[in-house]
Structure 1
Amino acid sequence: MSTRLSSEQLSSGPRETPDEHGAFPRLDGDQIDQIALHGTRRPTREGEVLYAEGDRDHDFFVIVSGVVQVLEHGEVVRTHGPGRFLGELGLLEGQPSFVTAVVAQPGEVVQLTAAELNELVRNDQVLGGLVLRAYLMRRAVLIGRGSGLQIIGSCFSPDTKRLLEFAARNRIPHRLVDTDNDGDAEELLRRFGVTVHETPVVVVPGGGALRNPGNRELAQALGLHASSPPSDLADLLVVGAGPGGLAAVVYGAADGLGVVAVDSVAAGGQAGTTSRIENYLGFPAGISGPDLTERAVLQAGKFGVPVNVSAEAVSFSAHDGHYVVGFDDSSQVRTRSLVIATGARYRRLDLPRLAEFESTDVYYAATIHEARECRANPVAIVGGGNSAGQAAVFLADRVPRVHLVVRGADLHKDMSRYLVDRVMSHPRIEVLLRHEVVELLGADKLDGVVVRDNQSHDRRVQPVRALFVFIGATPCTAWLSSLIALDEDGFVRTGEHVTTDDAWWHKGRRPFPLETNRPGVFAIGDVRSGSIKRVGSAVGEGAMVVRLVHEHLSFGATT
């Protein structure tokens, strides 16, 4: 791109911005030469725009000499010198750029296309790992800074919260411009010719505005693989992209199967909303759910399988020797085998007025996005399992007080020992055993909760501004109709727990482990009856199920 900015738009005498916890490493000469083997060297000119906010599939640049400035909305936020490389995670995932990169002092760069960069990341363990780690950190920096999308709307609007949650679940940098409290909101609305009554509005990279878009429309604008699933007959359809589903996608595609992957909201499932997973093998310092998800999505992409989001399964049937899954956009996928990995959704508290506050101050995930919304106010968390404990520890480092409300008498019953120790020793966490929330207080915003001691029946008010709920989950199986056998709680029966019927007599075998009452239909992860609610076990089931799919296909995929 040869576009130039005027000298008034560039800072005079730019100084390089220091590294930020490894997000902006400096390459040495040998590493630059190695990267240059995959691309081209070329000179740069002062004022040249290397890529602009909103650009898709822009190139990757390593600065050999000279200085490049990074701008957000016209303001310089970072300055890079020789040895630094540009870009962030969206470059690897085909998303639009959230920033603009401009040459402040002329010099030389090494330039790679997005395809050449992906090839480098896939095949060079050292350089690829360095770029990937930096890009993951840079995405976290953007998210923490509230860069990226601007979602203009009232904090009391359910659609505003829906859009905020969609952006958060898909790890898209964003910030809320609150029409009730933010002075910039009116000017932004005037700029786009939008009235308050037409909000929420999403300002996407490049300056376009979407008026109250649906999740699918926003996903398409952000390059989140929101195309309709392919109509060709697939070897394997994976519905649900939590850790188990993503593992099935990666192992299936690596084995040469024709795989289609679909999720109704975002890759990652409930694990993707977890601030830190500390007991997953191979990560002694722990790993955040979003980081684990991003790595898995990139790995699936490495084998040529994008995860289609905002496509919710609504029907399931058997037809002409294969299975057909229908989606809410009227598309269908025909497949020889199916993995059900739709997981479970968190249960809601049975509380008066809960719906009033769910659009503003009640949350079912605890990530940096939700922590930012709490704005340094005290919070309450309901639940006694690992999800509640992880949320308590994460939020306690960001808010002044966390009240953990647990119905049971012992944290050790449902929470891992290491997590119990961290919760009990944290000075800003108060644990209320044998308590439950019985009332929500406030008018338009949550001002507090009433908790009741289940032994003495005493009540007291906790002055909190947000309520986080982690009280178990309900399986996402309504779309399976009556063709798939479920247990009494609605989870999918598999293996020895299914009863064979007429569909099995011609197969000459019993159901495989993880296989349902329909040959070639498998269930993994939280949606499966009797599953172990751990990330590691879900990933293991995702790997195991691919071998069972091969076994099924070798018998012939007749339904």
Structure 2
Amino acid sequence: MSTPTPTVDVHSAYPSLTDDQIAILSSCGRVQPVRAGQRLFREGEPSEEFFVVLSGTVAVVEDLGDQERVVQLHGPHSFLGELGVLEGQTSFLSAVVNTPGEVLVVGSAALRDLLSREPALGDVILRAYLLRRTMLAGAGTGFRIIGSAFSPDTRRLLEFAARNRLPHRWADLERDTEAEALLTRLGVAPQETPVVVWHGHRVLRNPSNVELARVIGLRTEIAPKDVCDLVVVGAGPGGLAAAVYGASEGLSTVVLDAVATGGQAGTSSRIENYLGFPAGISGGELADRAVVQADRFGARIDVPTEAAGLEQRDGNSVVRLADGGTVTATNVVVATGARYRRLTAPGVERFEGLGVHYAATLWEARTCRLDPVAVVGGGNSAGQAALFLARESPAVHLLVRGGDLEHSMSRYLIDRIERHPRIQVRLHTEVREVAGEDQVESLVVADNRTREQQVLTARALFVFIGARPATSWLADAVTLDRRGFIPTGQDVAEVTADLWDPLARAPLALETGLPGVFAVGDVRSGSVKRVASAVGEGAMAVRLAYEHLAEAGPPVVR
């Protein structure tokens, strides 16, 4: 399967530190002599130390089972590692000393503390780490997922890895000639697939998302403890903003998400109208930056951890978890967002994960590089996806049910799409069928005015057609509007008046029908569906949470 080369600045991914920067790092590290063949860190083990090469050379290698492949050779003034060092994940690669010399060793906790005090140095390291993670993804480095494309569990694992931006590669049992030989070497029967091969030889047989997350270091168990100040349910832009502002203001903060950090915005290939990023930023990079920032302030982020219910006891809110656990807090911010609606047409369900996608990032695009593709939708997400895919696809069909783009797409995107020679906008067009043998090969589309149909050649279909709120877990806990979104403030005051009379106040601006429970971002009724507004609401919710904390008093220790 072809893999696109990531469009990153290699120099920025592997910068040399100055003597002054190394001196700053030396203030919290130690110099250690190293010998040829010595391993500084191993693939599959926690990333607990940061290394700067002072003299000699160090090779970063990938374990392929029966051999090792050199990914990068670092010389003096280079630093090792990638994003996992800052996010507490296990290493996807190993580091082996090539020629003897000395390295500077800094503990990861000390590094995070130092970078908060040295923003210029922190930006160099963080930017390089983000680029390295992108390069690892584009190169197909990381753990292997071996399984059939027709297996729902294979598709589940692939989606989990992609949404969490984890370096991985997929060996399709039906198409990859090496897959069967690899299974034989590992002693795994085809009927036992899908499997995840970690660290060259460790085999996880059809692991759950939670099991895989534990191995990688994404998730640790939430231990029962005192009532915390703030629980944020949902780790999209609004939830991560609440986590950053809450933790930075000293609130004990826990963030839960059932799938991945980044939310719906994390599936965006490029956000170009977010303040402070004139060149644009991918949703994944924005999420990774926010996670590092929240972690630095002390927020606890657990992914995947699914919220299954909400209730109030003794003046606190209790979030019930799908695994049977609970988290209790004085304040809850609901930031579960919305999910893109599934397209209903013959063939769509069969090809989900095999060419039908609900995100357009490097992870999905690598399966259809240099092929014609189609994008369904008329909003900003669809426009961003079309432009991203057109960088390598010879033809991108943008299929829009309505009669224009102006109704729901930003002007800057419309102008770029209209000028792009490889994007063809088809208005009044709907998908009637997705066809192919073992992958998407063509689409049957129809003009919704004349009913005239035609067949378009396309190797993938990317769907962005509106969204439904992720509120099913709330059941009858909070008041919902007729579409399932959460009304807040004055919109919910009258229908829940009996809850507010004892408090002698009305609900605060982002407060739901329950005191101390706030809703932000796309899940909130009447919200503006933009990343910037979600971030603003997340920050505002923390200010309102302080008002509720003053009213409720300090958390009761249990």
TM-score, normalised on structure 2?
Answer: 0.94
* Partner Cα distance (2:157, 2:11) in 1: 30
Residues 27-68 of structure 1 show CA distances to partners (whole Å, capped at 9, x for unaligned) of 122222222122011222111111121121342111111111
Q: Relative to structure 1, is the Cα distance of residues 204 and 365 closer, same or farther in structure 2, using a 3 angstrom cutoff?
A: same
Match of 2:241 in 1: 247
Q: Does 1:550 align with 2:546?
A: yes
Aligned match for 1:171, one of 158, 165, 188: 165
Q: Does 1:334 align with 2:324?
A: no
Give the letter aligned to residue 547 of structure 2. Answer: E
Q: Does 1:315 align with 2:305?
A: no
Match of 2:87 in 1: 93
Give the letter aligned to residue 407 of structure 2. Answer: K
Match of 2:529 in 1: 533
Q: Relative to structure 1, is the Cα distance of residues 56 and 442 closer, same or farther in structure 2, using a 3 angstrom cutoff?
A: same
Q: Does 1:262 align with 2:252?
A: no
Give how far 1:92 is off.
1.1
* Partner Cα distance (2:137, 2:234) in 1: 25
* Partner Cα distance (1:378, 1:306) in 2: 42
* Partner Cα distance (1:135, 1:201) in 2: 28
Q: Relative to structure 1, is the Cα distance of residues 21 and 412 closer, same or farther in structure 2, using a 3 angstrom cutoff?
A: farther
Match of 1:123 in 2: 117
Give how far 1:373 is off.
1.4
Aligned match for 1:201, one of 188, 195, 198: 195
Match of 1:80 in 2: 74
* Partner Cα distance (1:249, 1:376) in 2: 40
Q: Relative to structure 1, is the Cα distance of residues 391 and 236 closer, same or farther in structure 2, using a 3 angstrom cutoff?
A: same
Q: Does 1:23 align with 2:13?
A: yes
Give the letter aligned to residue 72 of structure 1. Answer: E
SS in 2 for 1:412: coil
Give how far 1:250 is off.
1.0
Residues 114-147 of structure 1 show CA distances to partners (whole Å, capped at 9, x for unaligned) of 2222222222112111111111111111011110
Structure 1: runs of 5 or more not aligned: 1-17
RMSD: 1.5
* Partner Cα distance (1:226, 1:438) in 2: 44
Residues 434-486 of structure 1 show CA distances to partners (whole Å, capped at 9, x for unaligned) of 11111111233222111111222211101111111100111011111223111
Give how far 1:164 is off.
0.8
Give the letter aligned to residue 533 of structure 1. Answer: K
**Alignment length (residue pairs):** 541
Structure 2: runs of 5 or more not aligned: 1-7
* Partner Cα distance (2:21, 2:311) in 1: 53
Give how far 1:230 is off.
4.1
Match of 1:344 in 2: 338
* Partner Cα distance (1:331, 1:24) in 2: 43
SS in 1 for 2:412: helix
Aligned match for 1:366, one of 349, 360, 363: 360
Match of 1:415 in 2: 409
* Partner Cα distance (2:300, 2:173) in 1: 36
Match of 1:43 in 2: 33
Give how far 1:110 is off.
1.1
Give the letter aligned to residue 265 of structure 1. Answer: V
Match of 2:5 in 1: none
SS in 2 for 1:102: strand
Give how far 1:206 is off.
5.6
Give how far 1:225 is off.
2.3
Match of 2:300 in 1: 306
* Partner Cα distance (2:366, 2:220) in 1: 27
* Partner Cα distance (2:339, 2:426) in 1: 25
1:261, 1:306 within 8 Å by CA — same for their partners in 2?
yes
2:210, 2:219 within 8 Å by CA — same for their partners in 1?
no
Of 350-359 and 173-182, more deviation after overlay is shown by: 350-359
SS in 2 for 1:374: coil
Give the letter aligned to residue 261 of structure 2. Answer: A
Give the letter aligned to residue 523 of structure 1. Answer: A
Give how far 1:400 is off.
1.9
Q: Does 1:53 align with 2:43?
A: yes
Match of 1:8 in 2: none
2:44, 2:216 within 8 Å by CA — same for their partners in 1?
no
| Identity, % of aligned positions | 56
Give how far 1:19 is off.
7.6
SS in 1 for 2:43: coil
Of 315-324 and 341-350, more deviation after overlay is shown by: 315-324
Give how far 1:390 is off.
0.4
Match of 1:282 in 2: 276
* Partner Cα distance (1:102, 1:211) in 2: 30
Give how far 1:376 is off.
2.4
* Partner Cα distance (1:314, 1:42) in 2: 49
Aligned match for 1:441, one of 429, 435, 438: 435
TM-score, normalised on structure 1?
Answer: 0.94
Give the letter aligned to residue 190 of structure 2. Answer: V
* Partner Cα distance (1:63, 1:282) in 2: 33
1:450, 1:460 within 8 Å by CA — same for their partners in 2?
yes
* Partner Cα distance (1:522, 1:91) in 2: 33
Match of 1:356 in 2: 350
1:146, 1:173 within 8 Å by CA — same for their partners in 2?
yes
Give the letter aligned to residue 25 of structure 2. Answer: I
